[in-house]
Structure 1
Amino acid sequence: MKISGRAFDAVLSDLDGVIRFYDMAELEQSERAAGLAVGSTAEIAFAPETDLPLMRGEITKDQWTEAIAHGLADRVPHERGRELATTLAEAKFRADEVVVGMLRQARAAGLPVLLVTNATPWLADDLALLGLTGPTGLVDDVISSADLGIVKPDRRIYEVAAERAGVAPARCLFVDDRQENVDAAAALGMTGLLYRDHADLRAVLEPALRTGARARARGD
């Protein structure tokens, strides 16, 4: 639904670092108990050679945790590395309800809301736990790297997202917490928002919501 004066007609949002956040307290405790610096497991897990095959849907969760354990093998016994990797893979997470609320407002105002995320093959289960999908969920569609075999900032994932939103790239708002992903979206003509806190998202959404409200009041 294009409304005259509105800067964009669809919202494309990253998941992790914008909507979803993890509780790493258990993993940090386990790392200390193993004599490792906090963050050691994540450093291995999210290194490109370990992480990208997972994000492209090329390996399973078990294969990913095994790769993490292998990467930790020079610091802890394999079984301990496997335990740490499993703790990371099963870390609890939550949705930021303030962000969810703002995106629900955008959707209620007629803006399609889509997730565009570098994700694991079990993303659908995670989204169901968060309550973001289904008839009462938050999003209209999910563009997952694990489904497409393409990761941000590859331009093709943005093109797929715009096509599924049903609008031109230049009519999309793209929200992400990583600069390189925002830059790639902007290169396609999207309105890019580097997300840091609630105020960032509120500042870019509120003018669009006000414009939509005025248009509905006029019966446009």
Structure 2
Amino acid sequence: MTSRGRAFDAVLTDLDGVIRFYEMAELEELERSAGLPAGSTAEIAFRPETDMPLMRGEITRERWIESIADGLADRVPWARGHELGTALAETKFRADDAVVGLLRRARAAGLRVLLVTNATPWLADDLALLGLTGPDGCLDDVISSADLGIAKPDRRIYETAAERAGVAPARCLFVDDRQENVDAAVALGMTGLLYGEPADLRAALAPLV
């Protein structure tokens, strides 16, 4: 599948912070009502000890919410913490149309486009809501940590992604908003892109699309 004259043949992209963004206003209002600074719930929810068991598919959504309530229990009553955890789990989200458009152009140019994400067990439902999968989607395949039981930056998830893309790691562009995840991809021989805004991806894809 390698095409002579281009730098890579597959784009492996993260989801959150690259394609998907959350609308946090409702949760932040609940936090203010509870006397907590904005972001307090996410701070607990995305600690490795709270977050990674979910990302590896080891716990349920409800157990994750309960662990958020446990983490907030020294600041708010447990029931209020559970309410905040539920609100976080149900936070509305949207896809960045500019990024989705670039990924569609990459596919049209003959590149394989795969999602490589540390994800919840309900990722498939979220992707359907975003319109990223199905006949009109922009993805060729989805590599989910919850399905594999391993998460970035474990090298095995990158190796699986390259294998599923059907190309060597050296022929992959890896896009992520976390430096440690990009570093792990680069260590495997991939081209790494630390994502900050759509212009970063547009520049990386410019020679190809």
TM class by shorter-chain length? over 0.9
The SS at the match of 1:207 is: coil
Partners of 1:179 and 1:50 lie apart in 2 by 21
Q: Paired residues, what number? A: 209
Partners of 1:49 and 1:39 lie apart in 2 by 17
1:191 aligns to what?
Answer: 191
2:110 aligns to what?
Answer: 110
The SS at the match of 1:208 is: coil
Partners of 2:186 and 2:58 lie apart in 1 by 28
C-alpha deviation, 1:4, in angstroms:
1.2
2:3 aligns to what?
Answer: 3
Partners of 1:178 and 1:83 lie apart in 2 by 29
C-alpha deviation, 1:208, in angstroms:
1.8
C-alpha deviation, 1:199, in angstroms:
1.1
The SS at the match of 1:204 is: helix
The SS at the match of 2:207 is: helix
**Is 1:57 matched up with 2:31?**
no
The letter for the 2-side match of 1:26 is E
Q: TM-score, normalised by structure 2?
A: 0.99
Q: Hey, which bits of structure 1, 4+ residues long, moved more than 4 A?
A: none
Partners of 1:203 and 1:65 lie apart in 2 by 39
Which runs of structure 2 are paired with 1:135-174 in the superposition (5 Å)? 135-174=135-174
- What's the Cα RMSD here? 0.6
Summarize deviations over 1:24-48 as a string: whole Å, max 9, x none: 0000000000000111101110011
C-alpha deviation, 1:50, in angstroms:
0.4
1:205 aligns to what?
Answer: 205
Summarize deviations over 1:135-178 as a string: whole Å, max 9, x none: 11110000000000001000000000000000000000000000
2:179 aligns to what?
Answer: 179
The SS at the match of 2:208 is: helix
The letter for the 1-side match of 2:30 is S
The letter for the 1-side match of 2:46 is F
C-alpha deviation, 1:2, in angstroms:
2.1
Partners of 1:99 and 1:58 lie apart in 2 by 31
The letter for the 1-side match of 2:52 is L
1:215 aligns to what?
Answer: none
The letter for the 2-side match of 1:23 is E
1:67 aligns to what?
Answer: 67
C-alpha deviation, 1:89, in angstroms:
0.3
Partners of 1:197 and 1:187 lie apart in 2 by 23
Partners of 1:62 and 1:204 lie apart in 2 by 39
Partners of 1:9 and 1:43 lie apart in 2 by 37
Q: TM-score, normalised by structure 1?
A: 0.94
C-alpha deviation, 1:5, in angstroms:
1.2
**Is 1:14 matched up with 2:11?**
no
Partners of 2:144 and 2:131 lie apart in 1 by 17
1:213 aligns to what?
Answer: none
- Gapped regions of structure 1 (runs ≥ 5): 210-220
Partners of 1:151 and 1:2 lie apart in 2 by 27
- For the pair shown, which has the larger CA radius of gyration, 1 or 2? 1
Partners of 2:106 and 2:32 lie apart in 1 by 43
Partners of 2:4 and 2:204 lie apart in 1 by 16
C-alpha deviation, 1:3, in angstroms:
1.8
Partners of 2:93 and 2:202 lie apart in 1 by 23
1:218 aligns to what?
Answer: none
Partners of 2:93 and 2:161 lie apart in 1 by 25
